[in-house]
Structure formats: C-alpha cells, structure tokens
Amino acid sequence: MLVLIAEDDANLRQGLAELLQLEGYATVTAECGASAIAAFDKAVPDFCILDVSMPGVDGFDACKKIRERSQRVPILFLTARNEEIDRVRGLGLGADDYMGKPFGASELIARIRAICRRTTPSIKPRNDSETFIMADLKIDPRALRAYRDKEAISLTQREVSVLYLLYRHPRLVVSRNHFYDECWGQEHFSNSRALDQFISALRRKVELNPKEPRIISTVHGTGYRFDP
C-alpha cells in the first residue's frame, strides 16, 4: 500500500516514512498542503496522513482538494491541536480518523490498519464476473477458476483474493500485514511461515514453473510482488 505523508516537520516526516517502510508500506512525502495535493495527483496513493497545521495550504484545505479527487482514499489527520471543534471540522471534511500529537508508533500503525479494514472493499472486482489477467493466466473470480490455454485450475475464494490483491498493486511489494488485513481479516497467522506455505502451495497451482515464478515473486523479508 502506498501512503502519502504530508507533514511540515522534517524530522517527524522522515520518522513516519521510516516507520511505515519498516511495516512494509511504500511512502511518498510532502512538506506542505500544496505539495501534498501535487503528490496525490502524481502518485495516486492508497492512504493519506495529513498534518493539520501546515504552512500555506493546511491539512484541512488539502483534505478538501483530495476529497474532490477521491471519496474513497482513507485520510488520517495528525495534529497538536486537541480542540473538539477541530476534530469535528476534520471529520466533517471527510477524514476517517484523527490523532493528536504526540502519539505512539504502535497506535499509529493500529489506526492505519483499522481504517483500512473499515474502508477497503472486499478484494474482488467490482463486477464479480470480471476476469483479470496475470502473466499467461486468466482468472475468473465468479467461477473460482484460472485458465491457461485450455487448462482449468480450481481456486479457493482466498486464493482468488490473494491473486487479486497482487494484481491491484502491480510492481509494488504487498507486505505480510497487508495480506493478513485484506485476505484473512482477524484470522492472522501466528507466524510468517504459514503465509509462506500458503503462497508456495498457490504457486504450485498457478505458476508454469514455481521455481521461476512470473505471477508471485518473493521480496525477502518484506512480502510478495506481481511484476506484469
């Protein structure tokens, strides 16, 4: 998931980027509201973190502009102000949550995951009859099947969800936590080997050569990626 971080404090901005990258997220940063809007237009992030008190175009105004572009991307406000009227205004502009400074790293990550669970639709195409292509494989979510030439491969709903999550984020690393949140919900694995074993079994079903995968590539220590 690509996260836009708009924060005028350079040290905090860098710290947030490093924290999120350690959690497996990709990041793009902005030092003010105007650059945040420009970064949003260029990068099209999946999640936005906006500081309220930025010079020039502040976080509230940046939120307005982002909401003009997208009603669905989640927005989390960060602020040193703790007045109820500011929280009400921010949420009224379309923000999904509001965190006061200072805050803990664990709480921030937990808030992001909770917002994503609330706001991210189920991992399936908008039309459940819509097929999608990964390498030489055509996947039909409604039939729970994949097709390679005349070969039909049966899939489970979860296997389709995993493939579609990778398909939606081409060339980006999908972290283990992202898989957990979007494809398993609260049923988190107790250890990363369980996810690795699931991916290994899925590769054996969908890859022509599982030792040289074209659909599910491993990014060691981080997660998995689809490179079209």
Q: What does the pLDDT read at residue 116?
A: 82
| Distance, CA of 195 to CA of 93 (rounded, Å) | 38
Structural domain range at position 36: 2-119
Q: Over the stretch 59-103, which tens digit does the pLDDT of each residue have?
A: 999 999 998 888 888 999 998 866 666 777 777 888 888 888 888
Residue 124 counted as domain residue: no
Q: Over the stretch 174-186, which tens digit does the pLDDT of each residue have?
A: 988 888 777 776 4
Domain containing residue 161: CATH number: 1.10.10.10
Q: Are residues 73 and 151 in the same domain?
A: no
C-alpha closest to that of 15 among 49, 53, 54:
49
| Distance, CA of 44 to CA of 15 (rounded, Å) | 22
User: What is the number of domains present in the chain?
Assistant: 2
| Distance, CA of 71 to CA of 48 (rounded, Å) | 12
CA dist list (Å): 107 to 47, 154, 173, 175? 16, 40, 23, 19
Residue 127 counted as domain residue: no
Is there a contact between 56 and 33 (Cβ–Cβ < 8 Å)? yes
Q: Are residues 157 and 191 in the same domain?
A: yes
Q: Are residues 44 and 139 in the same domain?
A: no
Boundary of a domain, candidates 119, 141, 170: 119
Q: What does the pLDDT read at residue 140?
A: 92
Q: Are residues 144 and 209 in the same domain?
A: yes
| Distance, CA of 195 to CA of 199 (rounded, Å) | 6
Boundary of a domain, candidates 119, 149, 184: 119
Q: Are residues 115 and 8 in the same domain?
A: yes
Boundary of a domain, candidates 70, 96, 119: 119
Residue 125 counted as domain residue: no
Q: Are residues 16 and 40 in the same domain?
A: yes
Burial of 151 (0-12, 13-18, 19+ CB in 10 A): exposed
Which token pair is 2?
A: 């690509």
Q: What is the rounded (10 degree) CA torsion for 10, 12, 18, 24?
A: -120
**Per-residue model confidence as pLDDT tens for the chain (228 residues):** 799 999 999 999 999 999 999 888 889 999 999 999 999 998 889 899 999 989 899 999 999 999 888 888 899 999 886 666 677 777 788 888 888 888 899 899 988 988 887 766 544 444 445 899 999 999 998 888 999 988 999 988 889 989 999 999 999 999 888 887 777 764 455 455 678 888 999 999 999 999 999 999 999 888 999 998
Where is 113: in which H helix or E strand? Answer: helix 105-119
